[in-house]
Amino acid sequence: MNRHFHFMGIGGVSMQGLARWYLDEGMRVSGCDASDGPALAALRAAGVDVRVGHDPSHLDEDVDVLVTTMAVPRDHPEVVRARELGIEVRLRIELLADLFRRRDAIGITGTHGKSTTTGMVAALMLAAGADPSVQIGAALPGLTGNMRHGGSRFLVAEVDESDPGFADLTAYVAVVTNLEDDHVAGDFDERRNYHASLADLEHATRRYAERAERVLYCADWPGLDTLLGDHPRALRYGTALDADYRVEALALRTGGAEFALCLPDGRRAQVQLGVPGVHNVMNAAAALAAVDLAGVDVVAAAPALADFRGVGRRWQIWGEPNGAQVVDDYAHHPTEVHATLTAARATGRRVRAVLQPHRWVRTARHWPALADAAALADEVLVLDVYAAGERAIAGVDVDRIVERVRAAGRHAERHTLASATAYLAATLEAGDLIVTLGAGDVWRVAEGVVAAAAAAEATAAAGVATAEVATANPAPERVDGGA
């Protein structure tokens, strides 16, 4: 008998992927989320019964399993009702663990680059005909949204380190791209999707690695040798001379890069990338090394990365109106913002950034570094904090970011989504590079600027067409001598 899984917060990108997986497995799947939108519409089109809003009555329809995340309070009415009815309550990470047990999982974790690296691994394995299953925290062209139900033994999965439960996953190849102070609560009492301290995060990462068959980590990232280097089956990638998978002959270019990856057996994979920045070179090196450890011929598969244009909201080009370029990027940690804006500056364009700080705890702990990273842009528009359900923290205000960016000699202003869109649309010039930065809804500014430019162009074209018609069909001369 097929079981009925009900997903709370089904609009979340990771929940979407798991819901679609269980639907493909033949299960009955339903879900709910606080607000409607394109994600819920796509799930409905796929056959998922989706409700808007949360209500304990959702569980009165023969639900067998209620799926939640760490972000859902344990005393939430739907969770309480499920326990009253004897319904099994499971966390999202526990369902992912089930998939890890059923497949040879290549699990990619780290503070930065998880989604892109996972997308690259998937692209390489698909190009090699390996028919993998995929679970990724972003949309990937060629997949049904962010998942694929493959027929082989392989699962390619993004592993979100913000959920402490990731430490209990058992991977075939565990990839750690990097590790930094993020998703750490520190002195704040918020504990959903947070580790208590950096030491706790490091401990969880080490446990994740210890449970894996093989471990792969970046040789260039400070601290990873100390944390993971004593694993008996660990290998390293990067530019370090003693890296097992060594990046050589690196040449960055506008919009991409070229390099060679020297493999442990002496072979060299020649790589061309269509995504910019040194950080994406490292992502590609990790992906190639992981695929090699899975037994795929990476020398033959490497050319597939030339066509890789990223995953959703990672250097996503929305358009090039009037000679400008409009890009959206998920970067929200200072290190990510710095990497994205470094790539932006390398284009030679005037860089105009729209920064949306993400979560109150992260902003409270990292706002000075976030401002310093944003100051790489020529102009910075700072939006209000995207709370993601967190309570506001007294004394934390984005005006501090604005002031610090100004002190660095850059033009900075506070804006809303609407005012930032209107201002950029009115001042857009050829040669501009507009970059929207954040994990919230800042992408709406990129969408709005491109839409405004298209509307202005259509209006201008209509005006030209009207003038041409008027010229071709002049009004007849009047012969009645007047009115």
Helices 334-345/278-293 angle, 10° precision: 110
Per-residue pLDDT at 175: 98
109-123, 277-291, 382-396, 461-475: range with lowest mean pLDDT: 461-475
- Confidence band of 124 (pLDDT split at 50, 70, 90): very high
Per-residue pLDDT at 71: 82
pLDDT at 262 over 70: yes
Per-residue pLDDT at 139: 87
Looking at 3.90.650.10, 3.40.47.10, 3.40.50.1100, 3.40.50.720, the CATH number of the domain 4-91 comes to 3.40.50.720
Please write the tens of the pLDDT for every residue from 384-399. Answer: 999 988 899 999 999 9
Q: Mean pLDDT of all residues in the chain?
A: 92
Per-residue pLDDT at 192: 66
pLDDT at 333 over 90: yes
The first and second tokens of residue 93, run together, are 């990470």
Contact 99, 168 (CB under 8 A): no
The reply to whether 103-307 and 316-463 are identical in fold is: no
Tell me what the mean pLDDT of segment 191-208 comes to.
Answer: 89
pLDDT at 481 over 60: no
Beta carbons within 10 angstroms of residue 341's beta carbon: 26
Domain 316-463 has what CATH class? alpha beta
Per-residue pLDDT at 405: 98
Separation CA 69–CA 94 (nearest Å)? 10
- The ranges assigned to domains in the chain are 4-91, 103-307, 316-463
Name residue 5's beta-bridge partners: 29, 65
Q: Return the higher-pLDDT residue of 357 and 70.
A: 357
Beta carbons within 10 angstroms of residue 53's beta carbon: 10
Please write the tens of the pLDDT for every residue from 431-444. Answer: 999 999 999 999 99
Sign, CA torsion 43/45/51/53: positive
pLDDT at 313 over 90: no
- Confidence band of 233 (pLDDT split at 50, 70, 90): very high
User: In the CATH hierarchy, which fold is given to the domain comprising 103-307?
Assistant: UDP-N-acetylmuramoyl-L-alanine:D-glutamate ligase (3.40.1190)
Per-residue pLDDT at 244: 98
Name residue 134's beta-bridge partners: 148, 156
